[in-house]
């Protein structure tokens, strides 16, 4: 495979191996080739409608890869059936100090402690205004600004929702990143109840006479089954449209010996070592909700077999991030062709 034998080694050596600088360079390249997106051959179509949104295929780009929507037209051209931008916050913020992104190559994993670095909700809205329709559904992941106290989180999320509501086909409420202090406490029953009630009210006001746009909740893989069940109860009470399972993990299980030194870096782990736990969470959520709550399965998907296993566990849609970094753009097509067969 050309990507793994030639392109990936070249990328991984760029900028002295600085993963974040390589990421930024790649996004810059993709943003420049985006006008040529229409000439790229389309992948097999596997249309499905989930939480009222029609997806041309179930393989999406996870939040975090194109936080600020710099290369949006390119993702559909690469075969993705939907794109999730963000996580974006009300206030623009630089994120945590660098270095904050680390490749664990032998494990095909990444550790990041980015800290929601982004240009802010209003700047993303302006970029989307200039861009126009994408041709594939757009999800927008919203999170809490670091400068905002946890007790003021509801207003912070509402401001982002108001700024971006006209652009998103669905909205993901990120309460599970390990890299913003206090954020994961929003998964607790009381805090989540208040947050979802506030967001639902804002969404209804913005929708007017139209149906409210779907709101999804993104959870951590580190929650116990009891904690996940509690989250599901709150989601049901507030008519959440779906769940994204899962975010990155604080666990360091399943890593190759050569990666143990980098594993000591603080941050969330993504990639192959997360695959089993992500599927366990998806399977648990599907069972607890009798398969009635749509699930976006994400975590450790690096092959067509991984994708099928996630769908078999109960996911309706899939998202890629780390697998895309290690396997390249061809992974999207391989998954979709496999699903078509």
Q: Is the Cβ–Cβ distance between 146 and 116 less than 8 Å?
A: yes
Q: What are phi and psi of 59, to 5 degrees?
A: -100, 115
Beta strands in 188-316 (DSSP E): 215-219, 242-245, 268-271, 295-298
User: 107, 177, 270, 316: which is the annotated catalytic residue?
Assistant: 177
177 as an active site residue: the answer is yes
Q: Is 203 helix (H, G, I), strand (E, B) or coil?
A: helix
Give the integer Cα–Cα distance in Å for 200 and 113. 30
Report the length, in residues, of the chain: 341
3-state secondary structure 231-259: HHHHHHHCCCCEEEECCCECCCCCCCHHH
| Beta strand pairing call for 109-112 and 101-104 | antiparallel
Which of 266, 243, 264 shows the shortest CA–CA distance to 181?
Answer: 266
**Residues with catalytic function:** 177
């Amino acid at each position: 495979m050309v990507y793994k034998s030639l392109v990936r080694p070249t990328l991984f050596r760029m900028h002295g191996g600085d993963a974040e600088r390589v990421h930024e360079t790649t996004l810059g390249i993709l943003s420049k080739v985006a006008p040529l997106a229409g000439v790229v051959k389309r992948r097999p179509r596997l249309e499905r409608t989930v939480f009222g949104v029609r997806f041309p295929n179930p393989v999406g780009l996870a939040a975090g890869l194109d936080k600020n929507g710099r290369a949006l037209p390119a993702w559909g051209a690469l075969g993705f059936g939907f794109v999730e931008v963000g996580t974006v916050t009300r206030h623009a913020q630089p994120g945590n100090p660098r270095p904050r992104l680390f490749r664990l190559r032998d494990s095909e994993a990444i550790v990041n402690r980015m800290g929601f670095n982004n240009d802010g909700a209003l700047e993303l809205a302006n970029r989307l205004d200039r861009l126009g329709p994408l041709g594939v559904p757009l999800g927008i992941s919203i999170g809490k600004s670091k400068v905002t106290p946890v007790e003021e989180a509801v207003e912070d999320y509402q401001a982002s929702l108001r700024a971006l509501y006209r652009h998103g086909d669905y909205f993901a409420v990120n309460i599970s990143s390990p890299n913003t202090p206090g954020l994961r406490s929003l998964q607790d029953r009381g805090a989540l109840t208040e947050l979802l009630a506030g967001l639902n009210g804002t969404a209804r006001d913005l929708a007017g006479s139209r149906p409210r746009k779907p709101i999804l909740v993104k959870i951590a893989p580190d929650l116990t089954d009891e904690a996940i069940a509690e989250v599901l109860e709150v989601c049901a009470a507030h008519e959440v449209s779906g769940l994204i399972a899962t975010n990155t993990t604080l666990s360091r299980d399943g890593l190759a010996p050569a990666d143990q030194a980098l594993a000591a870096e603080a941050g969330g782990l993504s990639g192959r070592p997360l695959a089993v736990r992500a599927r366990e969470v998806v399977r648990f959520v599907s069972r607890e909700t009798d398969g009635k709550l749509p699930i976006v399965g994400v975590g450790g998907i690096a092959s067509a077999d991984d994708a099928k296993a996630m769908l078999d566990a109960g996911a309706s849609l899939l998202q890629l991030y780390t697998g895309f970094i290690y396997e390249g753009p061809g992974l999207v097509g391989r998954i979709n062709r496999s699903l078509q067969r």
